[in-house]
Structure 1
């Protein structure tokens, strides 16, 4: 069973640790050598004029493979569920539900309908059962946000290991999936979704970190009760905050800013106050990166719902926040994807799994338990920037994960580098096992969570489980790359549109 630092917020692992203890796509904006120092206010991260944006056109052969992958993944969200509540299990070996997994499940239903894998009526029944179950059990939330883990049979709050915590990021992922389902199905489902959105009081989770940070309050990572027996009683906010610009940070903050009721919102300035630490990677140029985790998922989770490609390049300085680069977040993530693939090709430790088709360091199962591998760009000093306020002084270390590959990571990169992602998906789909292990692909629910190769390019370890928060990103990312469906639905919700307007994002 995962512990608090392993499951509460995957990108939070390194932060807790700190407290407690050839094949790249060239970029014409990239400098030939890594700069030693940059003025963040002069940095603009945006794609070249001829860069192709999603949705992309795929070959017939690629479409067939994507159909196969999405359909198998979709079956997980229909079959690996509690018969009482319809909610998808966190993983196949556990009797617990992650609300983030349920968010992905709800967002997957419209894909199943559009692709002809489930009738609209059946998908609506699944979605309504889940929403009714969540709404009818008030002990699973505080101030309208949900406990990270809940009981699959009655939706009550569930302790997992040391953790019984209301999670802001997992609530954000749940609400995002709800929004997608509500906008697609409309009717009673939308009514239920909008009520849950109105009930969410994000202002309850705001606090001022101090330690040189701006006076703007940030969202805490969560809240824990004083007494497990009274999950809606007294408690306290966790003393950790969404202060950087990783995907979890941005999505959580956006949901707070976009709350329907003004009194429940996070202020707009908290979004612009998120730190934008600058790095550099050869062939790509400047990159904004998250210093406490180099896992690839921290560069694509928000993109599963937010159509950053349509938003273009933002401008924090226009909103009174200095020392923040202007960023097109789709382009920033595209650069991070190429960084990950480059590192796998370079492979200084000669790990047999890694190479042109096997890349993407991220959170997954590993041979010894939960694993968070990751890579970072070269750090670039920021002229005039203040430590803590504008950047972290933490010096992270790359984590090669022993060569473990999680197919959802390169697969979800299809939103940014479709050709490279297709090559990786095809290679993982056809990876064969050694004498003791099968392949990573099964006809039932698609890819197992992770695998590792030996020197003979055979799978010598494969995860036993399928995991909802790995399956979900993969099916959503593929759909966005193919049709943009999830983006269209999420971005059409009035509260999201209004929030983006208040932020000056169009």
Structure 2
């Protein structure tokens, strides 16, 4: 079974073979010569390698951002017959966080970073939204909804939460007195205040619903229960200045269902929450690009322990390699949702197709730094010719099937930049947790954190 509605919906979309897919027409600045992975720098120190991987991956959002909207394109290759204009709401949130990292590390001027994010925000203000909630996909030129599936043509609360995770970080980072930074803060605030989180309680129920559409109403009927990638949705819904949910929505909505509490042991590691063996690793990435799991606790779990346990189990499974796939081992691990030789798949220990997704191990850097660094060195030094590209590592590969993706996905590239940065400096964690709204929401829901003022 798929591990979240997002993955289920993706599985229902028509998936083309890689031979059928056409590369997207790049409308962003083109390099003068073709990229050659074999010319990558050699003999780098750990810090130099982390710098290079973050910076190269960031280019997906900067060089390949949509020329009209500035938003992140869904993927680097054309798929699903949607053409080149598809931009992604959640992936843009992750891209905004990558731009902040780039500004802080002075890869780009701070003024240009602020201007790019301001361009995105002004585009969003004119784009389709539904009670302040944005759709999963937009046309990056027109701002019109591109439906994600037959009835998913309205507001997507989870994608919107990933977007605002990034925008809140931007509002906390760009605190300067220039006109651009002032305007950026104001316009982010107006967007943030306009999201009607409690509308997604569908008439006051104590649970949040993922989708609402003016054409199809609540017919998707998908309640957001834990444990998966959606904790951030409840945190932001509780943090809203104008349309906040109450704690009982969190307790009776999120913290319920067959896959919330676990408590069983896998590979000698106890897993507090979630699916057996943990599910795909993005559960421990998307929410925690901004939400700092260090010392974060509530009545249900210690979230640092949860994410470390999830990562250790995923790693141990790949080392154990019960299906005997070629290449798996201590320096070649990481199962999460990504492209595969069979199309998009939610890779995990219980759905193992022999595909390693580089974002899995790299975005786990805060939780398993030694294991993640070993994987990074193997990906770059040993497999680099096959998987290193102008936008960092490709989305997935299988040595067993001799398959190496040509694609990149925004939702996989973004966490690499952000989570490596959180491992190195904690930058995004500090920014997100410094928001007074976020602090109020976490307190309301009963969270404790060293970064939450009492």
Give the TM bin, normalised by the shorter chain.
0.7 to 0.9
Q: Tell me the equivalent position of 2:379.
A: 428
1:88 aligns with 2:72: yes
TM-score, reference length from structure 2: 0.82
Q: What is the alpha-carbon distance in structure 2 between the residues aligned to residue 314 and residue 61 of structure 1?
A: 39
**CA deviation after TM superposition for structure 1 residue 8, in Å:** 6.5
TM-score, reference length from structure 1: 0.74
1:483 aligns with 2:430: no
| CA deviation string 1:105-163 (max 9, x = no partner) | 111121111111000111111011110011022xx211111010000112221124534
Structure ranking higher in strand proportion: 1
What does residue range 79-158 of structure 1 map to in structure 2 within 5 Å? 79-94=63-78, 95=84, 96-137=86-127, 140-158=128-146
Q: Tell me the equivalent position of 1:269.
A: 248
**CA deviation after TM superposition for structure 1 residue 348, in Å:** 1.5
**CA deviation after TM superposition for structure 1 residue 449, in Å:** 0.6
Q: Tell me the equivalent position of 2:237.
A: 256
What does residue range 408-419 of structure 1 map to in structure 2 within 5 Å? 408-419=359-370
Match of residue 469, structure 1, among 388, 393, 411:
411
Checking the alignment, whether the CA contact within 8 Å between 1:309 and 1:330 is kept in structure 2 is: yes
Q: Tell me the equivalent position of 1:64.
A: 48
Checking the alignment, whether the CA contact within 8 Å between 1:11 and 1:295 is kept in structure 2 is: no
Match of residue 297, structure 1, among 278, 282, 290:
282
**CA deviation after TM superposition for structure 1 residue 244, in Å:** 1.5
Moved more, 80-89 or 145-154: 80-89
Q: What is the alpha-carbon distance in structure 1 between the residues aligned to residue 91 and residue 195 of structure 2?
A: 19
Moved more, 236-245 or 332-341: 236-245
What does residue range 205-216 of structure 1 map to in structure 2 within 5 Å? 205-207=200-202
**CA deviation after TM superposition for structure 1 residue 306, in Å:** 0.4
Q: What is the alpha-carbon distance in structure 2 between the residues aligned to residue 136 and residue 8 of structure 1?
A: 28
Q: What is the alpha-carbon distance in structure 2 between the residues aligned to residue 470 and residue 164 of structure 1?
A: 23
Q: What is the alpha-carbon distance in structure 2 between the residues aligned to residue 472 and residue 304 of structure 1?
A: 9
Task: Name the CA shift for 1:206/1:226 in 2 (closer, same or farther; >3 Å).
Answer: same
Give the secondary structure class of the aligned counterpart of 2:386.
Answer: coil
Task: Name the CA shift for 1:417/1:440 in 2 (closer, same or farther; >3 Å).
Answer: same
**CA deviation after TM superposition for structure 1 residue 179, in Å:** 0.6
In structure 2, the gaps of 5 or more residues are: 13-43, 79-83, 176-181
Checking the alignment, whether the CA contact within 8 Å between 2:358 and 2:393 is kept in structure 1 is: yes
What does residue range 176-191 of structure 1 map to in structure 2 within 5 Å? 176-186=165-175, 187-191=182-186
Q: What is the alpha-carbon distance in structure 2 between the residues aligned to residue 432 and residue 471 of structure 1?
A: 18
Checking the alignment, whether the CA contact within 8 Å between 2:295 and 2:304 is kept in structure 1 is: no
Q: What is the alpha-carbon distance in structure 2 between the residues aligned to residue 446 and residue 80 of structure 1?
A: 12
Q: What is the alpha-carbon distance in structure 2 between the residues aligned to residue 286 and residue 255 of structure 1?
A: 25
Match of residue 308, structure 1, among 282, 293, 301:
293
1:453 aligns with 2:442: no
Query: RMSD over aligned Cα, in angstroms?
Result: 2.4
Q: What is the alpha-carbon distance in structure 1 between the residues aligned to residue 5 and residue 351 of structure 2?
A: 20
Q: Tell me the equivalent position of 1:243.
A: 225
Q: What is the alpha-carbon distance in structure 2 between the residues aligned to residue 10 and residue 494 of structure 1?
A: 33
Give the secondary structure class of the aligned counterpart of 1:288.
Answer: coil
**CA deviation after TM superposition for structure 1 residue 194, in Å:** 0.9
Q: What is the alpha-carbon distance in structure 2 between the residues aligned to residue 216 and residue 143 of structure 1?
A: 17
What does residue range 271-420 of structure 1 map to in structure 2 within 5 Å? 271-273=250-252, 274-275=255-256, 276-278=260-262, 279-290=264-275, 294-311=279-296, 313-315=297-299, 326-375=300-349, 398-401=350-353, 403-420=354-371
Q: What is the alpha-carbon distance in structure 2 between the residues aligned to residue 292 and residue 411 of structure 1?
A: 19
**CA deviation after TM superposition for structure 1 residue 7, in Å:** 10
In structure 1, the gaps of 5 or more residues are: 17-59, 209-214, 228-234, 316-325, 376-397
Q: What is the alpha-carbon distance in structure 2 between the residues aligned to residue 225 and residue 298 of structure 1?
A: 30
Larger Rg belongs to: 1
Q: What is the alpha-carbon distance in structure 1 between the residues aligned to residue 174 and residue 269 of structure 2?
A: 41
Q: What is the alpha-carbon distance in structure 2 between the residues aligned to residue 225 and residue 254 of structure 1?
A: 25
Instruction: Provide the aligned length of Structure 1 versus Structure 2.
Output: 398
Q: Tell me the equivalent position of 2:35.
A: none
Checking the alignment, whether the CA contact within 8 Å between 1:206 and 1:218 is kept in structure 2 is: yes
Checking the alignment, whether the CA contact within 8 Å between 2:147 and 2:153 is kept in structure 1 is: yes
**CA deviation after TM superposition for structure 1 residue 84, in Å:** 1.4
Checking the alignment, whether the CA contact within 8 Å between 1:12 and 1:293 is kept in structure 2 is: no
Poorly superposed stretches of 4+, deviation over 6 Å: 5-8, 11-14
**CA deviation after TM superposition for structure 1 residue 283, in Å:** 2.5
